[in-house]
Copies of this chain bind each other. A is one copy, B any other.
Amino acid sequence: MRTGSHRDEAVALDERSLLRRRRDLFVLPPGVVYLDGNSLGALPRGVAERVRHVVEEEWGAGLISSWNSARWVDLSARVGAKIAPLIGARAADVHVGDSTSVILFKTFVAASRLRPDRRVVVLEPTTFPTDAYVASGVARILDLEIRWCDPADPVSSLDEDVAMLALTHVDFRSGAMYDLPALTRAAHDVGAVAHWDLCHSAGAVPVALEDADADVAVGCTYKYLNGGPGSPAFAWVHPRHQDTWDQPISGWFGHAAPFDMEREFAPARGIGRMASGTPPILPLSALDAALDVFDGVPVDVLREASLSLTDYFIDLVDRRLRATFEVLTPRERDLRGSQVSLRHPEAYGVVQALIDRGVVGDFRTPDVARFGFAPLYVTHADVYDAVEHLVAVMEREEYAHPDYAVRNPVT
């Protein structure tokens, strides 16, 4: 590893960072530069002890009584309240539970039901696949039509037939970010509902849902929110819609009085009606502990740290590898999230060779290498080291190693 003036520059940037002590709140394996927090966030230090406590004390010793004594019964709401400030929401307006796909099914149906006289939902064709798959299932069951918009110009697909504009705030492949307030206004201008997928923005990019007057948002908690593999997703519904919000999976935990065991369904007041089944206490507890790493961090500080990292990465790639990679992510700060994607025909091998060198990014078919910069634990020194390794991988053609001919099930 070269230790010239550039790396000193990186270390100096880290020393000036307002978040420089936050990395200590994470467990990171030694010798690894982890740039895949946009896929699976690193482990916050407090999680292991909290999970141990939940398993051994709350479940093992407390048994059924922990529904009351450990307040399992409102854990979802308490976790939602911790996510709220990261997305510009009020504490009482965020629900947590179910996978992102299941939550999307509920919110797509409920949002479409807000405009029962309209039959078109607008999505971008480059959205994360599950959004498209879930929307297709919803369209079939509600007899709606999906209109695929031009990703560069969603507004041109809006008209007064549109019930819902469903966009992903930050694109999973390119890292490009939409203007959430402007597109929300455009949806409202034609009387449509604005539905936002925050999977690749929550926890890294400021989101001002209520200020932007958005209608509904859904997000993943195992990326920048560090909730652990497959941790439950969240949903926010604007307060103006909550009392008429009509999600389709009416289960007992979304009932106004679950333990009255009535036969007729009566939805809970407020965001609680987004619940369906018994809440998943283990992963909710892990997420609850994980969210403590955001305590006292203003989202604009988070954003500035993230931009500093992505600026630096793009700058180094430009300096060292301009002829080799196409930077897929927009260079304009306002148009990108917290990842940078590089395009190369050998992207799969490039990512694998980097992983073998301890630099973890990931690959997205057909030709994209993604690098995520979680601002709480990625440093400028990490960025510097990653680019040095990337240069070496390209110079030595390590991406062509025969081991990479057979791809892993998960890429």
Contact = CB atoms under 8 A, between A and B. Distances in A.
Interface stretch (A133-141, A181-189, A235-243, A334-342): A133-141
Nearest to A34: B63
Contact of A47 (B40, B55, B261, B411): B55
A65 interface: yes
A282 B229 contact: yes
Given A133-B251, A228-B55, A282-B228, A355 B65 contact: yes
Contact of A67 (B105, B260, B360, B410): B410
Q: Say how many copies of this protein the assembly contains.
A: 2
A73 B230 CA distance: 11
Given A231-B280, A276-B102, A32 B63 contact: yes
Contacts of A284: 230
Interface string A94-134: 00011111101100010000000000000001001110111
A281 interface: yes
Contacts of A201: none
Contacts of A132: 263, 265
B102 A261 contact: no
A233 to B, nearest CB: 7
Query: Which of under 10, 10 to 19, 20 to 34, or 35 or more describes the interface residues of A?
Result: 35 or more
A154 interface: no
Contacts of A128: 252
Nearest to A47: B55
A85 interface: no
A373 to B, nearest CB: 15
A248 B282 contact: no
Contact of A262 (B66, B129, B250, B364): B129
B365 A261 contact: yes
Nearest to A265: B133
Contacts of A261: 129, 364-365
Nearest to A123: B263
A130 B252 contact: yes
Nearest to A364: B261
A51 interface: yes
A55 B129 contact: no
A52 interface: yes
A65 to B, nearest CB: 7
Interface in A32-74: 32, 34, 36, 39-40, 42-43, 47-48, 51-52, 55-56, 58-61, 63-68, 72-73
A263 B408 contact: no
Contacts of A47: 55
A129 B258 contact: yes
A362 interface: yes
A223 B104 CA distance: 28
A64 B51 contact: no
A258 B229 CA distance: 16
A140 B253 CA distance: 19
A258 B233 CA distance: 19
Nearest to A409: B73
A60 B73 contact: no
A365 B260 contact: yes
A103 to B, nearest CB: 8
A362 to B, nearest CB: 7
A99 B98 CA distance: 7
12 contacts: A27-B56, A40-B59, A97-B99, A98-B98, A98-B102, A100-B251, A102-B102, A133-B255, A134-B249, A134-B250, A230-B279, A261-B365
**Chain A to chain B: the 4 pairs with minimum beta-carbon distance, closest first:** A99-B277, A101-B251, A101-B277, A229-B281
Given A64-B360, A137-B265, 9 more contacts: A42-B63, A68-B408, A73-B409, A102-B251, A105-B248, A129-B258, A133-B251, A136-B265, A232-B280
